[in-house]
Amino acid sequence: MTAQVLEFLGGNPGRTALFEAMERVISELGDCELSVAKTQISWGNPFKFAFLSNPPRSLVRQGRAEDCLLLSFGLDHREEHPRIAAAANPYPDRWTHHVVLAEPGDIDETVKNWLECGYIFAKLKKRRR
């Protein structure tokens, strides 16, 4: 874990455990690059397919987000599932999905499958012109 990742997570043990669980799952998918920005941690191959960010303020106000992270991932279709908090269609054939992760166990087989599909989608994706 890099100093940038630790700084992003703010030393929060719950978020650190979530990141470590996510890193294990993503490392099993194949080669990809980790990037840390001010608002998110992302993985790409070369296109970005998975993102961890701080949860929206609405969750913080509800007292549910102290240890949570928001997972976002891209697919070529809209996925319908009760765990998906929101989905957006930023451009044709691209759907971005958002899932709240509260503990490492939330990164289950369903989430692993979404990440694998996102990884493959990003690998096969062509740059828009």
Q: Is the pTM of this model over 0.95?
A: no
pLDDT of residue 67: 81
Specify the amino acid at residue 90.
P
- Closest C-alpha among 18, 34, 42 to residue 100: 18
**pLDDT for 47-97, tens place per residue?**
999 999 988 776 555 555 678 899 999 999 999 999 998 999 988 889 999
Model confidence at 126, pLDDT cuts 50, 70, 90, reads low
Q: Is the pLDDT of residue 128 over 90?
A: no
Q: Is the pLDDT of residue 107 over 60?
A: yes
- Closest C-alpha among 44, 65, 42 to residue 55: 65
Specify the amino acid at residue 124.
L
Average pLDDT over residues 98-125: 94
- Closest C-alpha among 73, 77, 76 to residue 111: 73
What is the DSSP secondary structure assignment for residue 104, as one 8-state letter?
G
Q: Is the pLDDT of residue 129 over 60?
A: no
> Strand pairing partners for 43?
34, 50
pLDDT of residue 13: 92
Q: How far is CA 47 from CA 32, 65, 70, in A?
A: 9, 28, 19
